[in-house]
Structures are given as C-alpha cells and as structure tokens.
Amino acid sequence: MSMSTLAIALVISVVGTLVAGLVAFWPDPRAHRASNILLAVSAACGAIVGILIATGDGLLLVLPEALYPAAADGSAHVWPLFYGMVFGLDRFSAIFYSLMSVVTLLVAIYAIPYYEDHAETYSKPGANALTALFVLGMQGVLLSTNIFGFMTFWEIISVTSFFLIMAGGSIASRKAGFLFLIVTHLGAGAIMSGLFLLSGGALLSDFSVIALITPELPQATLYAALVLLLFGFGSKAGLVPFHVWLPEAYSEAPVPVSALMSGAGVNLTVYGFLRVLLFMLPGVPMWFVLTVVILGVISAMVGVLYAVLERDVKRLLAYASIETMGLIFAMIGVGLLAGQEGSTDLTQAALYAALFMVAAHALFMSGLFLASGIMIATVHSRRLEAMGGLAKRLPLFSGAVCVLALSAALMPPFAPFMAEWSFLQAVVGALTEATPMLKVALAVIMAAVGFVAGLALFAMVKLYAIGFLANPRSDEAAAAIEPKPIFMLPVVVLAALGLLLGLFSPLVLNRIGAVDLAPADLDMQVLATGGGELAPLTLFLVMAGILLALFLLRRLLSDVTFERNYQTWDCGQPTTPRMEYTATAFSAPIRYFFRFFLRAQKVVTSTPLTPNNPWVASRTMSLLVSQVWYDRLYAPIGSGLTRLSGLVGRLQNGSVQFYISLILLALLVTLIVAL
Amino acid sequence: MMTTFTSSEVTTISLAVSFLLCAFLGSGKFRLGQIVRYYALQSLFLAGLLISLAAYGDKHLYLSALGVIIFKVILIPAIISTNAKRSSASGRLTSFVRPAPSYFVSGGTLLLAVLAGMSIAPALQETDLILTVTAFAAMFLGGAMMAVRRDLYSQIIGFFTLENGIAILAAATLGAIPLLAEIGIFLTITIGALLMSVLSRRLKELYAVEDTGELRELVD
Amino acid sequence: MPFILVLILASGAVTAYLPLSERRIRDLGVVVAAVSSVLAVYIALPAFGVFVGEQSLVTGPTGVFGPGSLWYLDSLAAMMLSLIALISLSSAVISHRYLAHEFREKIVSLTDIRHYYSMVPLFVASMYVATLSNNVGLLWIALEATTLSTTLLVAFYRKRSAIEAAWKYVLLCSLGISLGLVGVLLITYAAGQNGANSSLLLSTFRDIVAAGGVNTDLIKWAFVFLFIGIGTKVGFVPMHAWLPDAHSKTPSPVSALLSGTLLNVAFVSLLRFRQVTDMALMDDGAWTGKFFLVFGCLSIVVPALIMVIQKNYKRLLAYSSIEHMGLMAFAIGLGPAGIIPAVMHLPGHALLKSSLFVGAGEIFLTYKTTDSAPVTDVWKRLPKTAVLFLLTLLMLLAVPPSAVFVSEMIMVGFGLRDYLLPTLLVVVALTVVFVAMLRHIYTMFFSAPTVNTVLTNGAVEKWNVTHVVMTIQLIAAAVLGIFYLTPKGLEIMVGIAQSLNSGLL
Amino acid sequence: MNPIVLTIIQIVVVLLIAPLSVGLTRFFKARFQGRHGAVPWLPYLTYATMLKKENVISSSGSWMLRATPYAVLGSALFLALVLPLVATGGVLAASSNFIVVAAVLALGSAFLVMGGLDTGSAFGGMGSSREMTIVSLLEPTIILTFAAFALATGSSAVDGMIAGSQMAGELLITAPYLSLSLLALMLVALAENARYPVDDEATHLELTMVREAMILDYSGPYLAMMEYAAALKFTVFALLVANFAMPTPLIMTSSTLLEVLLAIGATFVKLGVVMFAVALLESTIAKMRFYRVQEFLTGAFFMALTGLALALLSQLL
C-alpha cells in the first residue's frame, strides 16, 4: 500500500467523520442512520490505515507530503491553513488510532438502534453531530504533531463530551456534566501550560522540536511542567484524587457515548502522557516516577474497591475503568522506574504490557458498556437489584457478556490476562538483579496487582452473576427477550476480538515493535520475558481439549440424558426471587473487611407488623456508600469558592462614596508603590 | 487690578491662598446655598489668579480667566441652584461626618496635598511650589468632599472643586492651553454640571431621593 | 474627512428632534448609522492597504493624515474604526426593532425615542473622534463626551435603579476622566519642557520623547494618573464599580455598544499614552508592563469570583467584559510581544460580547426582567435566540474555532515563559469563569418552565433581525479565528501590533 | 522416557488416587474422634453410584448451571495435568507458569461461584459470596508465594521449580528461607480446598458451609463431577505441597522403570502423610467464624510477603 493511498484513506476517515456530523442535521428521518453509517465507514477506513501503519515496519505517514508528491525543489507542500501545520501518524499514534477507530465503528453501529429506541430522551441530530465531532476531536488529537493542533482538538473533545453527557437532560446529568466540565477544563489548562513550559512558549513548535529543547530546560520549569502534565492527563484518565467526575459522567451519558469515552477517549490520556514522557523528555526524575506508580496503584485499589461495592451497572463499569487505568499508569510508572534503575528489559516489557492493556481495555470496556446499555434497556433501570434471570432468557447475549466480564476480570485466555501476565512475569524476572530500592517497589507492585486482580474478579463475577443469573427480580427482567441482532452484533464482535487479541497477542505485540517480548524466532507463538514463557494459543487449545474430553467422558460414563426440572431446594419454605442474593449482599463481606476505608453506613429499620408480637416485623435495609473523596476533597473546595466569591461580591455594595474612595485609594497606592 | 510687575508673585500667592481658604471653608458648610456661593467665590479667585499669572506669563491666560468667570462663576452655580430650587430640594445637606470634624478631615487632606505637592515639586522645575500645592490641595479637598458627603449636590460641588484644582495645575504648569482645548474643556464641564443636576432633579421629583445612602439597590 | 463623519452624526442627532413620526425617526437613525459606518470604513481604507500588503505594514509615525494634522490613522486605528462601524450599524439595526417593540408596549414614550436617537449618534461620533484624534486635548474631550452622551442612555428607563446607575456612571467616569486630565497635563508639560512647544499632538510627543532628555519621573507621575484615570473608563478592577450597573441598566443595543466598543476605545487610548511613556523611559515597557500585569490579574480574578454568585444575566455579561479587559491588560503586561495576543483578542471580544448583549436584549423583550431566576426554559420558548446565544457564549469562552481561543492560547504561551504563577492563576480563573457562565446560562436555558414563562400563547419565535445580526457576528468571530491561523493573518496582526510598539519582531 | 508418557502416568495416577484422598481424611478424622468411620475407598463407590443417578436440575438455572461442573472439573484437571505432582518435565510443563496456575484456579472458583448463584436460593448466594471473598483475597498471597519460589529456584514455571530443586536435593535444606513461603502455600491450600480453619467440607449447617452450599443443588452426574473436582483439587494441592517439601522421588525423563514404581509408591506415601496431617489438624482446631477469616487471609498474605522479602534478602547475602 503506497503512502499516498494510505494518506487518502486517512483523509477519507477524517473528512467522513466531519461529513457524518453535518449529515446528522439533514431534516430527512433517514439522516440518523446515514450519519451513523457514514461514521462507521470512515472509522473502518481509519482502522485499516491505523493497523497497516502500526504493524508496518517504521512507516511514518505525514499528511500534506503524502498527499501531494514533494514539489520539484523538495520543499514540502505547505498547507495554507494552520500556519502550515503538519498532521501525521507514526507507529505509536497509529496503535491508538486503529483502536479508537475500531471502537467508533462498533459504537456507531450500536448507536443506530439505540437512539431510535430512546428517541424521546435524546435528540438524534444533536447526539449524532456531537458524537461525530467527538470522534473528529479524537482523530485530531492523534494526528496533530504540534501543541496548537493537540490542544485545539483536546478542547473540542472536552466540550463535545460535556454536551453529550448532558444529552439526557435530567438534573443528575447536568450536575455530572458540570463536574466533568470543571475537572476537564482545569486538566486541559494544565496540559496546555505544561506543554508550553516544555516548548518555551512557542505555540507552533513540533513535538520533535520540543524534544530538542527540553534537555536544556532549567530544573524548575521541567518539574513544574511534569506536575502540570501529570495532573492534566491524570484527571482525564480518572486517577484517584481527581476521579470523582468519572463515575458520574459515564453513568449519566448515553450508552454509546460512555462506551466511546471509556473505550477510546480515556486512551488518549495514556497516548498524551506517553507521547510527552517517551518522545519529548530526555529523562524523568525519580520522584515523578514514584508518584506515577503510587497514584496508579492507589487508583487501581480504590477503583476496584468501589467497583465491588457499586450496585449501579454503569457506575460499576466506570470504577472498573478507573481500576484498569490505574493499573496501566502503574505499569507505565514501573517501566519508567526500571528505566531509571537500569533494568532495561523490564522497561520495554512493562511499557508494551501497558500498551497492550490499553488495547484490551478499549475492547472489553466498550463492549461491557454497550452490553450494559442492552441490560438497562430491557430492565429500564440501572440497578443490578432489578435485574436477574437474563441468562436464561437471553442465552447468546449473556454468553458474550460472560466472555467480556471474564476478560475484564483478567482471566486466562483473554487479552487483559496476557498484558497482566507479561507485566508480572517481567517484574519477577527483574526481581533477581534489581537494585534494593527497585526490589521493594516491585514486591509491593506484585502484591498490589494481585490484590486488584482478585477484587476485579469479584466485581466482574458480581456484575455477571447478579445481573444475569438466578430468578428475575423484576417483571421487566422476567419479560426479557433476546435483543435485536444489530444490538447484539457489536457486543459479540468485541467479545470475539478480546479473545482473538488474547490468543494472537505474541503476533500482535511483535508486529507493533515489542520484539523481545514476543520474539520472532519462536514463530510468534510465545510471550517470553523475565525468564518465563506463555503460549496463549496452546494454553487455549489445552483448556478446550480438556473441556471436550470431559464432555465425552461424561457422555460415556453416565448414560443419563434426561434432565428433570424441579424447583430449587428450599427446605420446605417456597423461595421467592426477593430471597435471592443481591449485589449489596454479595459484596457484604468485602464491605465488612474494608470498612475502615469504605465507611459505608448500613441502616436497618424494622417495623413490627403486629402490635403485641415484636418478632414479626418487616425490615428494610438501606446502604449509603459515602463518597470519601467527594466529601473530603471536592465539597470543601466548592463551598470555599462560593464563600470567597460572597466575600468579594461585597465589594459591590452599592454606595457611591465607597466607589469614589476606592478610586482615590487606588490612585494613592499606585503613586506610592510605583514612584 | 495691580499691574506692578515686581509684586506679581505676591498677588498670585495671596490669590492662591484665598482660593484655598474658600475651598477649605466651603468644605465645612452644610447648606446648599452656602457651598454654591463659596464655589463661585473660589472660581472668582481662580480667575484672579489666572489674570495675575497672565501679567507676566502667556497673554492667552486673560481669555481663559474670562472663560472661568463666564462658566464657573456665573453659569455652573446658576445651573445648580435653579435645578435645586425648581425641584424644591431642601437646602440641608447630609454627610457621614458632622460639621465640626469635617474641618478636621479637610485639614488632613490639606496636609496630604502638601506632601504630594512637595514630592512632585522636583519634577516640575519651573512652576513655583505654592501653585502646585494649592492645585493638589483643591483636588484632594474636592475628592474628600465627594467621598465624605452623602447628598447629591455636595458631591457635584466636590467634583467641581476638584476640577478647579486641575485648572490651577494646568495654568501653573502649561501656562495657556490652546484655545480649542480650553473651550472644549469648559463646554464639557458645563454639560457635566447640567447632566448631574438634571439627574438629581429627576431623582428628587420622581423618587424624593436626596441622599445617595438610599441609592444602594445595585448590589451583587 | 473625519470632520464630515462627525458632521453627519451630529446632523443625525439633530434630526431626531424633527417633528417626525416615531417610525420615521427610527428609520432615519438606521440610515445615519449606515452612512456613518460606510464613511468610517472609507476613512480607514488607506490604512487597510496594510491588510492588502501593498504598503509597509507600519504606516510610519505620521500616520495616513500626514505629520501636523489633528487626526492620526494607523492600522490599529483602522481596525478600531471598522469595529466601531460594524457594531454601531448592528446596534442601530437592533435598536430599530428593539425600540419599536418597546414603543408598542408603551414602555418608552416618543420623547424617550427622540432622546435615544440624539444621544446614540453623538456617542458614536465621540468614539470615532477618540480613536482618530492625534490631539491629546481633543482625545480627552472625546472620552468625556462618550461618558456624557451615554449618561441619559443609562437613565433611559425611568426606573429608580436606572437613574441610580446613571448617577454612579456619570460621577465615577467624570472623576476618572478628570484624573486622566491631570495625567494629560503632566505629560504635555513633560514633553514641552525643553522646547517650548505648545502643540498637543501625540505624534510630536513621540518625536520629542524619542529624541530623549525628557524628565522621566514627571512622565512616571503622568502615567500613574493616566492609568488610573483612563483605567476607570476601561473598567480595571478597583475602579470597575460603575461598569456592571451601567451596562446592565442601559437598553441592550446601547450596552452592546458600550461593552463592545467603548471599553476598547478607552483601552486603545491608554495604550497610545503607554507608547509615549515607554519611549520616554526607554525600558521597553518593563515599568508600565507591571501596571498592566497587576491590574490585569486583579481584573480577571475578581470578576471570575463574582460571576460564581451572580443572579442577573446582564450583570454576568458586564463582569465578563471586565474579565476580558483584564485578559487584554494581562497580555500587554507580559512584555513587548504580549501586544499581539491583546490585539488579536480585541476584535474577537468586541464581536462576541456585543452579539451576546443583543441576545440578552432579545431575552429581556420576552421575559421583561434581567434577573435570571424567573427566566426559565428559554431553549424551548426562544429556540433560535437560545442556540445562537449558546454558540456565541461558547466562542467567547474560548472554544477552538473562535478568535478568543487563539489569542488566549498565545497569551498563556507567552505568560508561562516568564510569569509562571500569575499565568496559572489566570488559567484557574478562566476555568471558574467558564463553569460559572455556562452553569448560569444552562440553568436559564434548560430549566423546567415556571408558571409565568407561559406568557405568549406558545407562539413559535420567528426569525427576526436580531438573529441575523447575531449569526453575522458569530460567523465573523469564527472566520477571524481561522484567519488568525493563516500565516497572512498572523503577519497582519503583528503589523497592527507594531503600530503600538514599532520595535516589535 | 519421553514427556508424553510422563504426563500420562501422572494423570492416571492422580485421577485414580483423587477419591482416595478424601476417603483417607474422613477415615483418619473418624479414627481421631474415636469413631470407626467409613472405609477410605468409599468415595469411589459414591461417585460411581452418583453417575448412575437421575439428574434433577433447578428450573431457575440457566446454561451456567450446566456449564459449571465442566468448568470446575476442567480447571482441576488442567492443574493435575500441568503441575509436577508425580512426574516433572511433562509435555505440558511449559504452561505451568505460576501466574497461569493462579489464574486457572481463580477461573475454576469463579465458575463454581456463578453456578452456586444461578440456583437462586439464599444458601447458594451465601456460599458464593463467601467463596468469592476468600478466592479474591487469596489471589495476592498465591502470587507472592510462587514469586518467592520462582526467585529462589530461578524458574517461574512451577514444574521448573520442583525439577530444579530435585536435582539439587531437598529444597528446604538448600533454601531454608523458603519455609515461610511453604507455610503460606499450606494456608492457601487449606483455604482453597475448603479445609478446616476456613470452611468445613463435611458440614451441612446452612450458615457455616461455603463450598458445600454452592453444590447443594446439583444431583446425579453433575454432583459427581463437582465432588470429584473438589477431591482432585485437594489431591493436587496435597501432592504439590508435599513435593515442595520433599521433591526427590519424582519421575523424570531419565528415570528407569524401577524409579517410576518407586515414585508412584512415594506418591501414595506422601498422600497418606498429608491426609493424616490434615485430619490431625481438623480434629484439633475449631473452624473460624467467617468474619474472622479476614485475619487468616491477612496472616497468609503477610507470611507470603515476608517469605518473598526473605527470598530477596537471601539474594543479597
């Protein structure tokens, strides 16, 4: 595929998204389908280009040059717009581009039936146009190679997602929208300031140019820039102290939007963070790396703990997203830490494991959000308590969701496990000859990853089991029917992709450059790092083989084929669906074991039914999970700001004499100070 | 009209001192009629000062003295008093500070003005110190009057005392401003006076408001 | 040439008192505004040559009208002229519909309309003079004339709060401007000290000061008085108290003019004086830069905080004007190169802010109050105005395609290089403003309709002239934003900035 | 002797002696408590009869209820195939990486939990919630224990750990600091197989049983598969712990027929010893209240952590 055809395909994908946004406003009722199909097609183009460049050996696509063959005197064709800015896709950004395009493709397909079913809450043209703009913003961020382009499209993303979150129109979505707006706008300001600090205030300097400037930057500006960038990217990724907006925003946004934001939007923060750290900065100070590791680990733990407690499907997934992002940032931190301490192969393995985890996260998280959309649509409520019994009624759909849930819980044959495996194996391998400080850090990291993996399994099993199994706990769940195939397609495809990515992870990793994580000489079947190997395909074949053998053996040994259905054993007391274990009950032990941190208040009120017999009483139990971060960190800042502005507001107290004396005072003070 | 050249400094200083005296006394009075009359007297002394300066300075000062007499001695006091009478505004003026201490406040501002005058004196080489001090004194007195007084009319008079101070400063430093600018400034000041008195009359007639204390509705 | 312009506008003012019907006066008002705008742009054309690139970017110290003339026109003045022309024309067109609506509902009488159509041309004329005048005395008179001509407009609605706002406006601005007069006198005296020249021409000041040997601490005294005096007109924070009252009480077309052009005219005249001071102090704007930096930061942070608890949507827009003036001053304070983002910011803010005030006027006509509480469910009742208002607001809050985004990014870029902490403070304040304004407008637009909003019997809002004007100015700001990105655009903006500091890159 | 034969020998031996292990523990416990107790090979008969029994399935269950037996038994079988129980260097030894082993364990438990919940009864729910808590809180302990072993023996495949130490003689003598990790592994084994301090596998008291509650609703062949899976997992853990303690008599590719018989005999002996120890433990201590199991799990975790720290320190000396 020559460069110009690739460039044309890339331009088609970008222009297609823009046109999709415009088509959304077409008065014709078919505009909704047309806009989404167009978006899907352009995303498909983008995916193909992305994959080709990512797996191509060192291909670098620079847009204006690739489109027009260089002019005779070799001066590249300068685009009149954007100060002759250059847009391009190198191998690193191509990985994210292809990921984002795949997720957009599937979400666009999913959006067609979704918005038609929810026509009364969301205005279709508005939602489609904003989604198209959102995707355009993401494409722009990945394509732009200088600060101005990066920040312009970053701002487009935050504004469009702000409006998308509020599309629902409810009070809660408005509150979530504004909380989102505050954090992302501050984050965007921080990123802009950080980048400007690095580039010495030059607006249009290319990232490669900045890489030349940064080595001589004075220590103070470098540190200030690093802190600002960590805050900027960390807050958008949902690292702990700034994560409070994420569950609100993801649960209030319409399902396709939250799938897009968690599947593709969050990856941009990792892209930006790595683009700055790996491509722009010569080296990173030790304290910064340690903060990244600690922040990552804490976010993972907090995210997983709240995911275990959560009873609202979308909030549970949002916390799961925080947990995975925490893991990714921890992996990046460990990679950088190893780089500092000199064990180079751990650096490469950890960074590529983080990249692979980002890819896996994009697939399973968007899949789970799309699936949660279907679950909520069937039950008309986001509470896990109202679901149940869906597996019996929607077998194929629940199969796909089971696959997605297991891959989210880092279970073997799926992609996230491969990323976690290569990271942990690299850590174990590096333990032997690491410096003492690194040894301690790696030991703590291993314990943390184990802890998080365990509780992630707990959360995902809870999500799947309480959501799908046992008897339906509401009549909508009882009346559930298999969703339309077009709804099911994206979920099933994402589940299958997760499995395929897992099985062929050595091939994929080798193609995107992790050469010694998946060495070519083992014909790209084996992940080998830190002294351990894992052949995902053979592992899968062994497991499948065992299951098959068991199936045959069972058929052989017991010729009992007839299954007699009978009600569950209930020691004589007929059981009702209300007696089943709900999400709250299922997570009770964890809530008890971590009560010092979670501080969940459980209130049980019992009202005696008959006056004379106190034992016969109806008990209601309510659980309030206090948002530690919100009450301790965000509420005080909010009230402080309003108090301060009340104070300043008194400046305008209405008396003319006060204003006159203000002016004269200003005059006197300036005279004294200035002269 | 003393034309003796030698004693011109003496006359300008005496006129400046008497100008300052009127301004100082005016700042203590609490009847509308009185402060308007003191303002007119003060402008008269200003005109005299200009004439004495013109004696050995620039010939245009005569014209500006004439302008001062027409506009500041006759026209502005007339506008203010007719407007006050037509809207039957009560002559009594109100202030944050009772009459006795208000002299104390004016004394303080005079001291501040002397300080300011002294500090700027080295920069203004030629102009003699007395004139700059009187200019700053008039400005600060006007400013203090605007800040301390509560009722509408005394704020107008305070503003015009400040205006007189600036006129003295202009005369002291620049001698004569080109005619076009001089007339322009006089016109704008009179229109200013007209507008302020129209507003205070409207406030008095429509809402019986004389005291800016009641004008405190626009608050954040 | 500028005399003719002033003459036309003065005649417009006079004709307002002719015995014509109310409709004729309004039509005449629009005609006068149209003619004066065309003439103003025609006057500015020679300096426009700059944009077409024939002449050298800087029209030299003498400006288009030659050395000794009363007027001075360079690319900055040309930009200001065209801005005033555009916004005064749009304001006239809007007031044609606005006053017709008010007259029909018996809120304003015929004499009020006569007053209106006599004051507005005078106000526009004084702004033109203030932009063009080379003579310092004339500049001062023009600034004072703008205050006097708008006082009656502030007191247009016979309500008590309007007259209170007018009283404060005229008192505070006259006090400020007279302090400015002290500064003008001192600077003329300083310039005239060695050679006994009595000309009040800014261009001659520049030559004398450039020659050197001027008494610098007198210039410093003069600049302090000038900064505080004209700063009151621009609305920097400690002297801003009159601005929210005045801008929220005037009828919306006038407050569009006030916020859109008057603040900018005062700011430009302050910059003219600053140029003379910088030349005298020969320190490349370091000493004066401190003023702009400190007052700029104050003027961003204080309005940002007050906007959080603001209850009145027109006052919200007025505080946003103070904040944007603060932003421009902050940009200037960042050093000689800071003039470029300030000059880029000026047209963007003027276009967007006047369009927002026009939109606010439209909301005022339907809801009859400027308090935000009773104004609800605007999205459904006034769909066209709401969409345009929201888009313009987003553009004002620096969302990418707008000119304000480009200027703010350059500003932060320069700011971070040498003033890290103030710039971070400004970025945080910008976020507070972003959220406060959007939440305020969002609750107004999307809240559930309360009982009194069902005034008109559900009549769907028709496409009227306000929307045309808002769309034009919205598109203009977006095109300006894109224009800044092209190399030609940047080159022209640097050209305009050079008219303030010829030593620029 | 090529690896395939080794794996076959191992799988045959382990599959045969699995029910025996459960039988032996019950037999020894009975004898400790002064009862005659059933014959040790009774489980063989119970599983055989169960396979013939009619299969009654709860009407509220979905396809998960039918898939769970296969998954649970599959994961147990996988461990039996992969881990170095009777022979080391088997054909599947390559995929016995300790992270994979931990994950497959967790996968098996996850399906067990989901099966328990699917019946929709309160008992199944309670058992599943408790089992899931134990499994997820054990995850870090398993990883740290095996990490310590990997660090000490240099290979992160469990097979390599045992094979490496087998050549170098007894593991514990050469690396005494691993005794803490071995202890942690024992605690993990007890928790994973529903043994005494955490859960009592023989009880039917609704409020205490954890694993038993989850398989309450199975019958016929599915119940046989679940019981057999539990027994198999128990044997796997028993032999693994025994091998870590005393790795020598294991079949290797180079061992002759005599050594093979010797190793198989040793496996029986090892199994007997471990079962005796477990029975002794179960007869002496009382079962922990579930909400105190947290201390047990934290204890195991810190033991594993200190084990790893000791292994790291030992590297430095």
How do residues A620-666 score in pLDDT, each as one tens digit?
888 877 777 777 778 888 899 989 998 888 888 888 888 999 999 99
Give yes or no for A218 touching C (CB within 8 A): no
Judge B/D contact: 3 or more CB pairs < 8 A: no
- Cα–Cα nearest to C78, from C92, C91, C65, C96: C65
CB contact set of C421 (below 8 Å; sequence gap of 6+): none
Report pLDDT for D165: 65
Would you kindly state where each structural domain of chain A is located, as residue ranges? 584-625, 628-674
A447–D71 CB contact, under 8 Å: no
Which residues 77-136 on chain A approach chain C with CB closer than 8 angstroms?
A: 80-84
Q: Which two tokens stand for residue D49?
A: 């009869």
Judged on CB neighbours under 10 Å (0-12, 13-18, 19+), B125 is exposed
Q: Would the CB atoms of B143 and A664 count as touching at under 8 Å?
A: yes
Residue A226 confidence (pLDDT)? 92
Cα(B217)–Cα(C128) distance, rounded to whole angstroms? 34
In a mutagenesis test of the B interface, which of A651, A653, A660, A671 is the best target, namely the one with the most B β-carbons within 10 Å? A660
Residue B123 distance to chain C (closest CA, Å): 5
Cα(B174)–Cα(B61) distance, rounded to whole angstroms? Answer: 11
Residues of C in contact with A646 (CB under 8 A): 309
Reported as half-sphere exposure (CB side, CA atoms, 13 A), residue C183 has a value of: 29
Q: A37-46, A421-430, A562-571, D45-54 — which is least confidently predicted?
A: A562-571
Among the partner residues A84, A203, A648, nearest to C302 by beta-carbon distance:
A648
Q: A423-480, pLDDT tens digit by residue?
A: 998 898 888 877 888 888 899 999 999 999 999 999 999 999 998 988 888 888 888 8
Q: Which two tokens stand for residue A412?
A: 């073997």
Query: In this complex, do B188 and C145 lie within 8 Å of one another by their Cβ atoms?
Result: yes
- Confidence (pLDDT) at A478: 87
Please give the Cα distance from C469 to C359 (Å, whole number): 10
A67 at the D interface (CB within 8 A)?
no
C320 touches C307 (CB < 8 A) = yes
Predicted pLDDT at D174 = 65
Q: Taking residues B70-84, what's their average pLDDT?
A: 88
- Nearest residue in D to A304, CA atom: D136
CA dist D252 and A181 (Å) reads: 65
Q: Is C198 in contact with B178 (Cβ distance < 8 A)?
A: yes
Question: What ipTM does this complex have?
Answer: 0.84
CA distance C258 to B75: 31
pLDDT for A355: 92
**Mean pLDDT throughout A169-188?**
88
Interface with B, mutate which of A645, A664, A665 (most B CBs under 10 A): A664
Among partner residues C172, C413, C487, which is closest to A659 by beta-carbon distance? C172
Interface test with C, best of B188, B209, B216 (most C CBs within 10 A): B188
Name which residue leads in pLDDT, D252 or D193.
D193
Instruction: Mark yes or no for CB contact B147/A654 under 8 Å.
Output: no
What global pTM score does this model have? 0.88
Tell me what pLDDT residue D194 has.
87
The residue with tokens 């890159």 is: C505
Instruction: Out of A82, A153, A189, name the one closest to residue C430 (CB).
Output: A189
Nearest-angstrom CA–CA distance, C251 and C361: 7
Kindly state whether A675 is in contact with chain B, defined as any CB-CB distance less than 8 angstroms: yes
Most confident of A85-94, A385-394, A515-524, C471-480: C471-480
Measured CA to CA, the distance from residue C326 to residue C302 in angstroms comes to 10
Mean pLDDT of chain D: 87
Shortest distance, CA C308 to any CA of chain A (angstroms): 7
* Nearest chain A Cα distance for residue C262, angstroms: 20
| Interval C391-432: pLDDT, tens | 999 999 988 888 898 899 888 888 888 888 899 899 999 999
Alpha helix segments (H runs only) across C195-285: 202-211, 216-234, 242-249, 252-257, 263-281
Report the residue of chain C nearest B124, measured CA to CA: C218
Cβ separation of D81 and A581 shorter than 8 Å? Answer: no
pLDDT at position D167 is: 59
Residue C84 counted as domain residue: no
Q: What is the pLDDT of residue D37?
A: 87
What residues in B contact C160, CB-CB < 8 Å? 206-207, 209, 217
Contacting chains of A (3 CB pairs or more, <8 Å) are B, C, D
Residue labelled with tokens 């058992």: D127
Strands A88-89 and A563-566 turn out to be unpaired
Domain interval for residue C316:
283-505
Q: Report the domain count for chain D.
A: 1
Contact A655 B216 (CB under 8 A): yes
Residues 245 through 274 of chain A touching chain D, CB cutoff 8 Å: none
Q: Given CB atoms, is B147 within the 8 Å cutoff of chain C?
A: no
Q: Is there a domain that residue C198 lies in?
A: no
Residues B128-132 have a mean pLDDT of 82
A486-541: pLDDT as tens digits: 888 999 999 999 999 989 888 888 888 777 777 776 666 777 777 778 888 888 99
- Contact of C405 with chain A, judged by CB distance below 8 Å, is answered with yes
How far apart, in whole angstroms, are the C-alpha atoms of residue A64 and residue A77?
6
Q: Report how far residue A488's alpha carbon sits from residue B214's, in angstroms, rounded to the nearest whole number.
A: 70
Taking the alpha carbons at both ends of chain D, their separation in whole angstroms is 40
Chains that touch C (3 or more CB pairs under 8 A): A, B
- Would residue C287 count as lying in a domain? yes
First to last CA, chain B: 57
Query: How many beta-carbon pairs under 8 angstroms link B with C?
Result: 118
- Distance CA(C467)–CA(C365), nearest Å, equals 14
Q: How far apart are alpha carbons D171 and D161 in whole angstroms?
A: 9
The letter for the amino acid at B66 is: L
Contact B216 A661 (CB under 8 A): no
Q: What is the pLDDT of residues D299-312, one digit of tens each?
A: 999 999 999 988 88
Q: Please indicate whether, in this complex, the C-beta atoms of C428 and A189 are within 8 angstroms of each other.
A: yes
| Mean pLDDT along residues D123-130 | 90
**Counting one residue from A and one from C, how many pairs have CB atoms under 8 Å apart?**
145
* pLDDT (0 to 100) of residue A66: 62
Decide: residue D169, CB within 10 A, 0-12 exposed, 13-18 middle, 19+ buried.
exposed
Chain C residues 365-404 within an 8 A CB cutoff of chain A: 394, 398-400
Nearest-Cα residue of chain C relative to residue A169 = C446
Residue C368 lies in a domain: yes
**SS3 state at A504:** coil
* Chain D residues within an 8 Å CB radius of A309: none
pLDDT for residue A84 is more than 50: yes
The residue of chain B nearest to residue C161, with distances taken between CA atoms, is B217
Helix %, strand %, coil % of chain B (to 5): 75, 5, 20
Cβ contact A80–C414 (<8 Å): no
Note whether A664 contacts B: Cβ–Cβ < 8 A: yes
Do A471 and A580 contact (CB within 8 A), yes or no? yes
Residues 95-124 of B with CB under 8 A from A: 96, 116, 119
User: Chain C within 8 Å of B123 (Cβ-Cβ)?
Assistant: yes
C200 contacts in chain B (CB < 8 Å): 177-178, 181
Closest-CA residue of chain B to A664: B143
The DSSP call for residue A479 is T
| Interface touch A675/B119, C-beta < 8 Å | yes
Give the separation between CA D251 and CA D257, rounded to whole angstroms: 9
**Within an 8 Å CB–CB cutoff, is residue A181 touching chain C?**
yes
Three state DSSP letters for C138-156: HHHHHHHHHHHHHHHHHCC
D151–A431 CB contact, under 8 Å: yes
Identify all chain B residues contacting A652, using CB atoms and an 8 Å cutoff.
Answer: 218-220
User: pLDDT-based confidence at A269, cuts 50/70/90?
Assistant: very high
CB C269, CB C195: distance < 8 Å: no
Chain B partners within 8 Å of C172 (Cβ) = none
pLDDT at B127 over 80: no
Is C227 inside any structural domain?
Answer: no
Instruction: For chain C, list residues with pLDDT below 50.
Output: 52-61
Domain of residue D157, residue span: 3-316
* A461·D104 Cβ contact <8 A: no
- Report CA-CA distances (Å) from A252 to A14, A165, A249, A373, C196: 28, 6, 5, 12, 74
Give A324's contacts (C-beta < 8 A, 6+ positions apart).
A300, A303, A357, A361, A365, A408, A416
